Amino acid sequence: MMKKFLTFKEAADYLGVPEADLRKQVDKGRIPAYKIGGIYTRFKVDDLNRHRRRIPKRAYHGYPVLITDRIKDFFYFNDFYIYATISIVVIIYLIFK
């Protein structure tokens, strides 16, 4: 079962757009946003579906992904494994030295 209200990040992921673009759409009044408790901004899934049908399919595809961003992401998500592998290699070297 899908949640009735989504956060900014969840709504951006749902639409497949960056959060900055979603914020611009909300500021322009193209996507309705609701304040919960006067603080938290949330989106109804039905409103997002309506907006998704209005935009062309190709509008948000093709964001360039730089190789440097991919390398940064690789090291960010795999740093534990890299450090662990280096540590194991050093320990094995010291044992069999």
pLDDT in tens, 37-85: 777 788 888 888 888 877 665 545 556 667 888 888 888 889 999 999 9
Question: Residue 36 gets which letter from DSSP?
Answer: E
Distance CA 71, CA 88 (A): 23
Do 21 and 15 meet the contact criterion of CB atoms below 8 Å apart? no
Are both 72 and 57 inside the same structural domain? no
Same domain, 53 and 23: yes
Classify 32 as helix, strand or coil.
Answer: coil
Shared domain for 54 and 95, answered yes or no, is no
pTM for the full predicted model: 0.51
81 and 37 in a common domain: no
- Counting the structural domains of the chain, the total is 2
Same structural domain for residues 39 and 23?
yes
Same domain, 74 and 43: no
Terminus-to-terminus CA distance in the chain, angstroms?
58
Rounded Cα–Cα distance for residues 38 and 58 (Å): 35
Specify whether 24 is located in the same domain as 59. Answer: yes
Domain identity same for 71 and 31: no
- My answer on whether 78 and 49 are in the same domain is no
**Could you report the per-residue pLDDT of 56-68, keeping only the tens digit for each?**
655 455 566 678 8
* Domain of 86, in residue numbers: 66-97
